Structure 1
Amino acid sequence: MSRRGLVSLTTRRQVRRNGGDLARAATQRLEAQHDWYARLTAQERSWVGLVAQAGIANFIQWLDGEESADTRTTFGAAPRELTRTISLAQTLELARSVVEVVEEHVEELAKPADVTDLRIAVLRYSREIAFGAAQVYAHAAEQRGAWDARLESLVIDAVMRGEVDESIRTRAAALGWGDVTDLVVLVGDSPRSSDDDDPALAVGQVHRTAQRLDLPVLAGVQGARLVAVVGSVQDPAATAAGFAECFADGDLVHGPLVTDLTEGAVSAHAAVAGHLAAPGWPTRPRPVAADDLLGERAIAGDDLARATLVEQVQLPLEEHPSLLDTARTHLESPGLEATARTLIVHVNTVRYRLGRISEVIGYDLTVTHEAFTVRVALTLGAILEDPSNIAG
């Protein structure tokens, strides 16, 4: 049976004549019953009022059996921004208020013989308008998701290129990154999927992990790499470990901790350079810090790593000639005793100096990989010290 057949023409005309009063009553019901409505701005309340009025008008069309009566058009009366202002649950409360107002006036609107049929029609309409609201919000979420994904990709690209200006910060703020600080960039291989390697799958996994860890994140796939910019980080190594499952097997490198997106390129550069150079350290951990790969990065051609090594190793040791001499000698010797013989000092003196070297530069020459890093640093320093290598 059609909707037109349920309710008589007389009752439908009565409902239509009272449409304005029903819409005003629905708006008053919102003001009286829902706290969230009072917290809206004047413009937002006007949007909600439009939806309430459209809900009544749409019910009248629906009751008349008009083909154009689609419950989703109720929510088309307001701008799409309304879906960001009020939640789906609040929208359903709005729709319920509209329906309740009509239901309360059924006996005034309907002929006695139509009261039951009109109540049934109201119940059917309430079900359809709920489905309509869910469809509108699902569509809005889909559009917003696609837009947010493009925006996120744009911000990631800017961070990786070191081009974070005011416009990029504004775009990042639209993604909820207006006040995010303490960032670290993670770089690893993007996981392969059976769905034509859809980058959205990898990015989605990063976002789900970030939600579980309660950390803000921006993610994107660039070629074969998956990049994640994580905010509110306290321990970069622990954070990288927390996201490790999002990346394919292989190297996962985290850059150094930086203050905000403006400095994000520093962490990004280090992470990318570290990911390229990581195979040079056979026993590297996973994840690994880019700063632990300075030697490999320098050999691979990373100018920033080279400058950092000279600044952190060569220059401080130059201020302590005996320590610099001990470092160079020990790196060429097969052990402590051999170093002591070459320097003509007691072996305990060598141990003391190695301890002091560790205090001054932060590297322990008794640890194989740290000794390698220092060797690279001192080699770079020696090359730079050679007058023949200075451009005239």
Structure 2
Amino acid sequence: MSRRVVITGLGAVTPLGTGVGKFWEGIRQGKVGISLIDTFDTANTGVKVCGFVRDFNEEDYFDVKGCFDKKESKRMDRFTKYALVATHEALMDAGTDFSDIDPYRAGVLVGSGIGGIDLTLTEYTKFLEKGAGRVSPFYVPMMISNMAAGTISMKTGFRGANFDITTACATGTHSIGEAFRKIKDGYLDVCIAGGTESARSEFTYAAFSNMKALTKCDDVNKASVPFDKDRSGFVLGEGSGILILEEYEHAKSRGAKIYAEVGGYGATCDGYHMTSPMPSGEAAGMGMSLAIKEAGLEPSQVDYINAHGTSTGLNDKYETAAIKLAFGDAAKKVKINSTKSMIGHLLGAAGAVEAVVLAKSIEEGFIHATVGTTTPDEECDLDYCINGSIEQEVNAAISNSLGFGGHNATVCFKKVRD
């Protein structure tokens, strides 16, 4: 059995704003959601900038159906709250709670790269200073990265396949891809899919900084400059992206608004290094090729690539090499950008938020600029949309995510054709 899968709802919590409306408006205007760190002394790490969500007021969601009340809030980590709010928006956007279908045909595939890492630090500090008896009994169910997916199921009543994919920076894209498979192959009719992340502590920033991954730039407008010769590391961000994936005939029968069709998905692994992508780009390129082929397309038919584009020295040039392998002569013509230029790197949520961008780009015929990038590296010699946003029809597009451990994921979205 092979069925068509479409996107009928979107939700987002991002450094550019909570809600797809605010987020997309910021994207269209080329705004930068990166800000200066103000929650801890940055002297120790030397890292000055972040991609914090600044407009999230959890009290706004108390007693909102599908979100959480004041008591529940105290028993949830921030990454779970972000996922619930984004899911609520996506379901409202889809125009239904799907209560009319078999609950075992409705699934939740929402992942997190590192879950409640800040909570771990807080509780461990409490353990050291005040003893074992003071560790919260809610620590484990708050911290584990699958709790976002589990809590969404409790709120929605979706009882089908439910799990947390954790593949570092590729988490969100893998979650969407696997949800696509579940529906395409007949196991589900609808699936809530995406990623969520929140890591704000100095400890987390120190860890990423010590591995030379984070930029030390203190200019919020130039800190994240993917593919630029002056790039110096990524900006650590947070947030959540959620998509409602639905079987096409079901969506069509209920008159749903359809953003795009999920045409293909590619998943590969470099098998090369803990943190560095494969220099040749072979495995990542194969992931792109698999997604494009499954969508029934040729590389020349893909209008746009939302790149992983982290603004790190190795990723950007090796991803460029991968695009060249996958696209051949078409690599010079395809439009490429990086949403991370505006919001930083949301780790496990990155691919999901970027998939929201992909769906909106297809819907509106808009490709945003890679903001802040002015002079591409000599080894980054493709069209990264550095001269501004582009208004053009987008019939097909792909989004790449490359995670530590060599995990590669690509999804291909396209316009729905009857």
TM-score (ref. length: structure 1): 0.20
Which is strand-richer, 1 or 2? Answer: 2
Which is helix-richer, 1 or 2? Answer: 1
TM-score (ref. length: structure 2): 0.19
Q: Which has the higher contact order (CA 8 A, sep 6+)?
A: 2
